[in-house]
Structure 1
Amino acid sequence: MNAMQYKITLPNDYDMNIIKERIYKNGSKTDGFTDLLLKAYLVIDTKVKKQYSPLYIWQGNIGMNKFIFDGFYDNILSSFGWQKINIAIPFIINISNSIKDSRYVLEIGHNIAETDKMKKPTFSKSFDNSLGSLLLYNPDKWKYVEFHFFENKPTNQLGCSQIYQIFHISTQ
């Protein structure tokens, strides 16, 4: 199982309706995509930050390889240029069908400190109103990230990295 995300930061004067329309027209194309457990089309649209950051959870590498190398990722390249794809390993996946009701994602990033004895990463907090959560880690960068999905916009009570708006969720 793999996770991947690319974060496309756009100029502050960029019309984010272009991204929202793109998702509206094309988001369903990844519904049922080979090996795709989840794709969340994530957007930040504030006065100080504009970002398109889709998040993928792949059940296997066949679908991920197909997406990257068989022409699908070429749409990102032709629209936004070369993008770094962040790869992580899913450690905890708590999702159900209700995740499709999510409209917001809270992202909380953590460093994994050098140690003599490894400890499993854990969620920093549980949320009663969360519709799903993911904990992903990357031992190449010694970081882990938790994602919490909500129907209503959460407050940034933990000093999290980001609060994203979701414009579509694709599942199996």
Structure 2
Amino acid sequence: MHAMQYEITLPADYDMGIIRKRVADKGHLLDAYPGLGLKAYLVRERGQDGSPVNQYAPFYLWHTAEGMNSFLWGPGFRGLSNDFGRPAVRHWLGAGLAEGSRTEAPTSATRATVRLPETADPAEAVERALAELPTNPALHTAAVAVDPSRWELLRFALWRGPAPEDEPGTRYQVLHLSRPELDRLPSGRHW
């Protein structure tokens, strides 16, 4: 599993209805994309859920590297880059996945990242993060991943309804969820 996200920060007075329409018109295009576990079409709106910015920030869990590469070098990402400028794409190696109830579509998401100190054992930090994955009944899907170039640990979760107040990290609204190969992503630890 590979985790990936890019963030497009928009002007404070940007009409977020433009992003909502874009997702409504194009979100379904990845609903059957080969190699994609899930794509959560995420937004943050200035003044909501503590967000200081307007932002479009899709988050992906890829089942295959080939699918991820096909997307990044293909027309979808090229079109986004033509419309907003080419964003920096963050990438993490998947370490584990937790499944919640997937009977309803998620409406919110959280993403928390933490840099691992040089003295920290990365394997122990990942094991701890996996053990701390949420078991809340509102959980849809949660993932742990690591960026070994920065030794940064990522915890991402999708929620049915509002994210729990005690859940750490940046909060997002989910506009659409494409999940063509979500059921092919293995649960639990990925090594």
Residues 5-49 of structure 1 deviation map (CA, whole Å, 9 limit, x = unaligned): 101111110000000000001000001101001100010012331
Equivalence for 1:66: 70
Shift of 1:127: 4.2
Query: Does the CA contact (< 8 Å) of 2:101 and 2:139 recur in 1?
Result: no
Query: Does the CA contact (< 8 Å) of 1:4 and 1:88 recur in 2?
Result: yes
CA separation in 1, counterparts of 2:103 and 2:119?
35
Matches within 5 A, 1:4-153: 4-47=4-47, 48-95=52-99, 98=102, 101-115=105-119, 117-118=121-122, 119-121=124-126, 122-123=129-130, 124=132, 126-128=134-136, 129-153=138-162
Shift of 1:136: 1.4
CA separation in 1, counterparts of 2:169 and 2:92?
17
Query: Does the CA contact (< 8 Å) of 1:27 and 1:168 recur in 2?
Result: yes
5+ residue gaps, structure 1, are none
Query: Does the CA contact (< 8 Å) of 1:156 and 1:163 recur in 2?
Result: no
Shift of 1:77: 0.8
5+ residue gaps, structure 2, are 181-191
Shift of 1:75: 1.2
CA separation in 1, counterparts of 2:125 and 2:43?
30
Q: SS in structure 1 opposite 2:75?
A: coil
CA separation in 1, counterparts of 2:5 and 2:105?
21
- Please tell me whether residue 165 in structure 1 is matched to residue 163 in structure 2: no
Shift of 1:154: 2.2
CA separation in 1, counterparts of 2:75 and 2:104?
26
Shift of 1:57: 1.0
Shift of 1:156: 4.1
TM-score, normalising length from structure 2? Answer: 0.82
Percent identical residues: 26
Shift of 1:126: 2.3
The verdict on how the C-alpha distance between 1:100 and 1:4 changes in structure 2, with shifts beyond 3 A counting, is farther
CA separation in 2, counterparts of 1:30 and 1:84?
20
TM-score, normalising length from structure 1? Answer: 0.90
The verdict on how the C-alpha distance between 1:117 and 1:61 changes in structure 2, with shifts beyond 3 A counting, is closer
The verdict on how the C-alpha distance between 1:155 and 1:117 changes in structure 2, with shifts beyond 3 A counting, is closer
